[in-house]
Amino acid sequence: MPAPTDRPVRADARANEDKLLTAAAAAFARDGADATLKQIAKDAGVGIGTLYRRFPTREQLVDATYRYETARLAARTTDLLAEQPADRALRTWMSEVLDYLAAKHGMADTLRTLLRDDAGLGSRTREQMAGAVEEFRAAGVAQGVLRDDVPATDLLMALAGVTLAAGAPHQRAQAERLLDLLMDGATRRERWGAGGAG
């Protein structure tokens, strides 16, 4: 797993950092903006002092959590493709994107400031996500289970559309149904031409 920062850390410190960032993502998804640093440290099984030594401010914790979760999700392609056919692996990954966005939603206020101050952060995230989708797409085309005329950028935009339309926690069941529809389009040749019924 890529380090959230460039500063080298000892193995035990890295383990604590991973636990903190995993706990933070879960807390932000569960409690939103009400997630407390004290509870995050408790969930990670470390003292609050350990959290503050690594992340002196809430903003630094949010920044690291966002980068960590993005890298973790982008790196899931290898494991999922080893476990399932590419179309099923992609569908599983899309559900994990919904979990990722739940945590992101809980960090929204702080993230807006971070994304405004670091113009490249958003573009780097899109590149990581697009790279993951392309891995699934390429594997699916090679396996004959995904269409070869749908680029990864289209799949990513369709996924973004689902999250915009049904990204709230209470819409999860609807979001999963919409993802199934998206996958139907990605795995089956469409009946309609570009101009409509034909």
pLDDT digits (tens, 9 = 90+) for 69-126: 999 999 999 999 999 999 999 999 999 998 888 888 888 777 778 777 787 888 888 8
pLDDT in tens, 121-163: 888 888 999 999 999 999 999 999 999 999 999 999 999 999 8
Q: What is the pLDDT at residue 194?
A: 45
Instruction: Return the structure tokens found at 169.
Output: 């926690």
The three-state DSSP-derived secondary structure of the chain is CCCCCCCCCCHHHHHHHHHHHHHHHHHHHHHHHHCCHHHHHHHHCCCHHHHHHHCCCHHHHHHHHHHHHHHHHHCHHHHHHHHCCHHHHHHHHHHHHHHHHHHHHHCHHHHHHHHHHCHHHHHHHHHHHHHHHHHHHHHHHHHCCCCCCCCHHHHHHHHHHHHHHHCCHHHHHHHHHHHHHHHHHHHCCCCCECCECC
**Domain limits of the chain?**
9-56, 58-187
Tell me the longest C-alpha to C-alpha distance in the chain.
66
Q: Check whether 167 has a pLDDT greater than 90.
A: no
Average pLDDT over residues 185-198: 57
pLDDT band at 8 (very low <50, low <70, confident <90, very high): low
**Fold of domain 9-56:** Arc Repressor Mutant, subunit A (1.10.10)
Q: How do residues 32-50 score in pLDDT, each as one tens digit? A: 888 999 999 999 999 999 9
pLDDT of residue 111: 79
pLDDT band at 188 (very low <50, low <70, confident <90, very high): low
CATH topology of domain 58-187: Tetracycline Repressor; domain 2 (1.10.357)
User: What pLDDT was estimated at residue 12?
Assistant: 77
Does this chain's domain 9-56 share its CATH topology with 58-187? no
Q: How crowded is residue 98: how many other Cβ atoms within 10 Å of its Cβ?
A: 19
Whether the pLDDT of residue 192 is over 90: the answer is no
pLDDT of residue 196: 45
> pLDDT at position 189, please?
56
What percentage of the chain reaches a pLDDT higher than 70? 89
